[in-house]
Amino acid sequence: DAGVIQSPRHEVTEMGQEVTLRCKPISGHDYLFWYRQTMMRGLELLIYFNNNVPIDDSGMPEDRFSAKMPNASFSTLKIQPSEPRDSAVYFCASSPQGASGNTIYFGEGSWLTVV
């Protein structure tokens, strides 16, 4: 299995620009998560989907952030406009449906720098 695939791996952008991060979950997984990792705040859950439907977006920091999952094999996290404080590593993760306690599998992350 290819695992969770994220792109781009690294992005440097200027403040005010739109940033789109992409994720392909593991085939057959019904849950998809977006996490953000920073030195100050650690790992934070931004939003998660079940069967392509957003379930909990309470972690999305503000309206500049939006996430979509148009189908079972693709999700995007968009930041518009971007700000320097958005610089972080953004992880996408997926897990299968079924009994709770299922393992969540993480991608390698998208390293975003906003200058």
Partner 1 sequence: AQSVTQLGSHVSVSEGALVLLRCNYSSSVPPYLFWYVQYPNQGLQLLLKYTSAATLVKGINGFEAEFKKSETSFHLTKPSAHMSDAAEYFCAVSKGAAGNKLTFGGGTRVLVKP
Site residues (vs partner 1, CB under 8 A): 4, 31, 33, 42-43, 45, 48, 50, 55-56, 91, 93, 95, 99-109
- Give the Cα separation of 81 and 98 in Å (integer): 37
Q: How is residue 59 written in tokens?
A: 């972690």
Residues in contact with 27: Cβ distance below 8 Å, sequence separation at least 6, in sequence order: 1, 73
Nearer to partner 1, 4 or 60 (CB): 4
Nearest Cα to Cα of residue 67 among 85, 97, 45: 45
- Written as six digits, the tokens of 95 are 């897990």
Question: How far apart are CB 65 and partner 1 at their closest, in Å?
Answer: 17
From the CB of 80, what's the least distance to partner 1, in Å? Answer: 25
- Minimum gap (Å) between residue 91 Cβ and partner 1: 6
Residue 20 or 108: the one with the smaller Cβ distance to partner 1 is 108
Element at 3 (helix H, strand E):
none
Shortest distance (Å) from residue 16 CB to partner 1: 27
Residue 106's DSSP bridge partners are: 93
In the complex with partner 1, the residue whose CB is nearer, 34 or 65, is: 34
Q: Given the complex with partner 1, which of 81 and 96 has the nearer CB atom?
A: 96
